[in-house]
Amino acid sequence: MELLASTLNLTKKKIIPYIDLEYSTEMALGSYWESARFKTKENI
């Protein structure tokens, strides 16, 4: 369990800051992103 916690902590500090999560979500959802409402996009 400690290994998982340290891995998640390392990921949050070293990887997540460099990822554009909104853009990545848009790429993953494709055309569904275009049809989603603004409020839905905020919640994702």
> How many other CB atoms are found less than 10 A from the CB of residue 35?
8
pLDDT in tens, 1-44: 788 889 999 999 999 889 998 899 889 988 888 888 877 777 77
Question: What pLDDT score was predicted for residue 13?
Answer: 93
Spell out the residues 6+ positions from residue 26 whose beta carbon is closer than 8 angstroms to its own.
33
Q: What is the pLDDT of residue 8?
A: 92
